[in-house]
Structure 1
């Protein structure tokens, strides 16, 4: 009699259990997706050589790993760079425009915004401890990181104490692609509320060209004149854009 659990091999029916260890393993082990090995190689190269060892699309791939854990991210990374032009502009892109790219969902958007916020927080931490004017290059790096790639104009003020240390970093207004309303009285009033003796004005030009306009120059002079009798000095007005920055003090407009 055939053993229980076995079928008649003459009729071509397979046994209920495969024969041999190799056969048993074939049922238990599924092949890993191809992207798994690729991700490990990228991580190894990053650990060994840092960000400089990876081109922008591979660094962006790694950023997307957590948002898309079970799919290859190379194609999406390349399409994002092709759409927006650079790694920085991908991170700064508005949510609505990111969603226009196939494969981008809320998880991807959250991951991109998290990386950008972390980078900004890191840069800012380098300037808050000492006098801002003694670390001016780091200040410019920070301002370009937080505003240089924005798609609408934003007006920011850095409030300083008597030692030129940062008291507050505040966004005062956000406008359109080429205009932000600035209220001179409110600027000076806020400085007095914070006991700030000096301020640095900052805004961005979404066009990318940081060259000051006539309106920028006139507005700055109005703030300087309003703050002077109240003991509030304007150290500088910095305009940032994709193409760099412009300093009113360096241009002798202050």
Structure 2
């Protein structure tokens, strides 16, 4: 019997997928095949196609999967910490690439890139996060800071703390953003009240609030676009 007849069928499959990558055929890959490539190095000797398909099915697609906590990933049979490491590296690379598109650029002039960055970093979070983007007088990003984690209300986000950070960065303007894990980007009464309060406080020290963007999955809600700012 020849050696290749003794080899598991997935050995040849791995070689073929890797060759397609080297031949610049990545755009022809299904999502599960891209996951297989990450699983190859994490699980050296096993057919990983069923695991890749189960991951997509379990978490509802790549966007949710890439933002899933490792404790949930490790509940899937066959998944190990090596795969979690690979996935988190991919996530960080993606977020950094998207952030580089807005750094050192006028935020207003690259608004679609900003939305892509916010959707990538916040769209699949399971807990609400409130962030502030601090801009200089040319609307170039100075800093991107997390201000609060948990349910957003006036008790959780302190407008005066935002002012303090804005003055520290010598910011001329800010953009508020937070996510809705519920899946709907529509602002709540608390969102409206908090935004009004932050605008009032910022106005007193001549800091503009350009927008408040709520992210929910792949959707967003802009206060400015909806004439609330």
* Corresponding residue for residue 132 of structure 1: 107
* Corresponding residue for residue 80 of structure 2: 105
| Bigger CA radius of gyration | 1
Q: 1:42 aligns with which of 6, 17, 24?
A: 17
What 5-or-longer segments of structure 2 have no aligned partner? none
Contact 1:46/1:54 (8 A) holds in 2 = no
Deviation of 1:49 after TM superposition, in Å, equals 5.0
RMSD: 2.1
* Corresponding residue for residue 251 of structure 1: 226
User: Secondary structure of 2:114's match?
Assistant: helix
Q: 2:46 aligns with which of 64, 71, 84?
A: 71
Residues 3-32 of structure 1 deviation map (CA, whole Å, 9 limit, x = unaligned): xxxxxxxxxxxxxxxxxxxx9x97xx9944
What 5-or-longer segments of structure 1 have no aligned partner? 1-22
* Corresponding residue for residue 158 of structure 1: 133
Residues 29-62 of structure 1 deviation map (CA, whole Å, 9 limit, x = unaligned): 9944322211122223334454421111111111
Contact 2:199/2:208 (8 A) holds in 1 = yes
After the TM superposition, which residues 1-254 of structure 1 pair with which residues of structure 2 at under 5 Å, given as runs? 31-176=6-151, 181-254=156-229
Runs of 4+ aligned residues of structure 1 deviating over 4 Å after TM superposition are none
Residues 115-146 of structure 1 deviation map (CA, whole Å, 9 limit, x = unaligned): 11111011111110211110000000000000
TM-score by length of 1: 0.84
Deviation of 1:74 after TM superposition, in Å, equals 0.7
Deviation of 1:208 after TM superposition, in Å, equals 1.2
TM-score by length of 2: 0.93
Equivalents in 2 of 1:169, 1:47: separation in Å?
Answer: 36
